[in-house]
Amino acid sequence: MEKLNEICNYSKGDAANQEMERLPPLFEEDDSSDRFSSSKVYDHQLDALFQDTTPPLCSYEHKMQELEAIESQYFKLIKPPARSQGGMASSEVSDQRKLSTDEVIRLGGERFIKSRSLNSTKGMLESTHPYAGSFMGLLGQELKDVQLIENLLLSSEKVAQQQFDRSRKLLDWCDALSSSSGNPIQRIVYYFSKALREKIDRETGRISSFTGSGKKNEHDTQGRIMNTTMTRLSIYQKLPFYQVGHFSAVQALVDRVSKAKRVHVVELAIRQGVHTMILMQALASQPEPIKHLKITAVGTGFEKQIQQTGGHLKSFAESINLSFSYNVVIVEDMLEFNIDLLELNPREALGVFSMYGLWSMIGQQDRLESLMKVLKSIKPRVMVMCEVATNLNSPNFVNRLIEALFHYGAVFDSLEDCMDGEDEHRGITESMYLGEGIRSIVAAEGAERAVRHVNLNVWRKFFARFGMKEIGFSASSLYQAKLVAGKFPCGSCCTFDMDGKSIKIGWKGTPIECLSAWKFS
């Protein structure tokens, strides 16, 4: 940990001045049975990726009845204040803690469910709600935030029902009370409202298609990730869960190769290589340091930036006296990637590192399958991967939007707590990364939807087809996770949950990313 600031600062360097046999389908898994669902299902316009292994999607009405029968998990939070025997209202509400973004979204969802019984938007835009008695404990701004979420959900329902004029009226109300510079709820509603308006324009023919093709969108997304070096490093230094994931992932890989003299790591998404520097430092500081580390960076573009990352890594290796080599494998199409490109040496302990390296291929499943076949053939000791913990790939539009609300809500909440509102990097992150992600998830369909994420259960089913088995994390990895989180002023909000043998890293209990380790049987 002492090397953390040195590693991050070193990675900055001059980077600010530089551009740095077909398997059954599975990836349309819809794992949002505890959320809401829509009556309209949109086709991915792809071969049926991974077949749903969950029960068929319930109709909207059936799902609403099911949810209405469930007592709110926030009953104690939102119940009316208790009265003493003397008839005075309890003062406990005034001392009530501030709601998290996740809690506001859940309360907005509860109001949304109840408001559907009105069968009309009449009264929805008024500050007095027929169910407001259930929310007497909320402060003024929190009540407005709950109403914002409620009306955003109502608007998404109207879009799914093709009631576009009603949806626009609800979005007008949302736009009046949201902004890109408000609190976390106001900011996420701002971006979701923009995305819903674009979806309406697409559905009504005002715009013909999402900007660019699916492949171009994915390429542009990866390009933004590669080229905003300073923003990425700023986020990395201030938000705990990214460093937590990196340090824990590195420890998991080191645990599997620590006794080897020569180590070869295949990197599927090296980017600026900050996590690679952590790995280099860990291997160099062992009681018996390795003799040589080889990194092979694999990509389908951005060769210049990947080569620049290699230059930084070579300089860093010299500074810690580590024998190091760096290879770059760039293929135009992942179908071209093969074992002969990796320059394997039987004396090397082989590992695979994938930090957000697979999600971009979910929409190109033949590429993902081809990659996994190559990885299986090289027989690595371990493959460590980190991906988004949430399923944001449902073919069901409303389900996808709601899952995205929870995911992005937690991320916006973390930015609020960990970064100053005037920080330019926070603004860039929200507009460029998060805003564009929301836009893709909500406004685009089929091959045009570039941003796709699936949860751990889907990855498990996919990896099982390649004989991959989940392996647990050592006590050292878990210790690293908690140690790193504790170094941040807001680290207490970073949460950890075990999901089988994998670790879900979240914010105030909402999972954001999932760290897992695998071996090929």
Please report which confidence band the pLDDT of residue 332 belongs to, taking 50, 70 and 90 as the band edges: very high
Percent of the chain with pLDDT over 70: 74
Tokens of 138: 């909320």
pTM: 0.81
Q: pLDDT tens digits for 449-462? A: 999 999 999 999 99
Is 3.40.50.150 the CATH number for 4-20+239-391+453-520?
yes
Q: pLDDT tens digits for 472-510? A: 999 988 888 999 999 999 999 999 999 999 999 999 999
Q: What is the rounded distance in angstroms from the CA atom of residue 224 to the CA atom of residue 245?
A: 21
Q: Where are the domains of the chain?
A: 4-20+239-391+453-520, 60-219+395-447
Q: For the residues of 6-40, what is the DSSP string, one character each? A: HHHHHHHTTGGGS----PPP-TT----TTS---S-
Q: pLDDT tens digits for 229-275? A: 788 889 999 999 999 999 999 999 999 998 999 999 999 999 999 99
Cα 415-355-461 angle, rounded to 5 deg: 110
Q: pLDDT tens digits for 335-374? A: 999 999 999 999 999 999 999 999 999 999 999 999 999 9
Q: Please report the pLDDT score of residue 355 as a whole number.
A: 96
Mean residue pLDDT of the chain comes to 81
User: Which DSSP helix (H) or strand (E) runs through 398?
Assistant: helix 397-418
Q: Dihedral of the CA atoms 344, 350, 355, 358 (nearest 10)?
A: 60
More confident residue, 91 or 195: 195
Cα 166-170-172 angle, rounded to 5 deg: 115
Q: 382: Cβ–Cβ under 8 A, 6 or more apart, which residues?
A: 252, 253, 256, 257, 351, 352, 471, 517, 518, 519
Q: Please report the pLDDT score of residue 208 as a whole number.
A: 73
Q: Please report the pLDDT score of residue 229 as a whole number.
A: 76
Q: What is the rounded distance in angstroms from the CA atom of residue 400 to the CA atom of residue 6?
A: 40
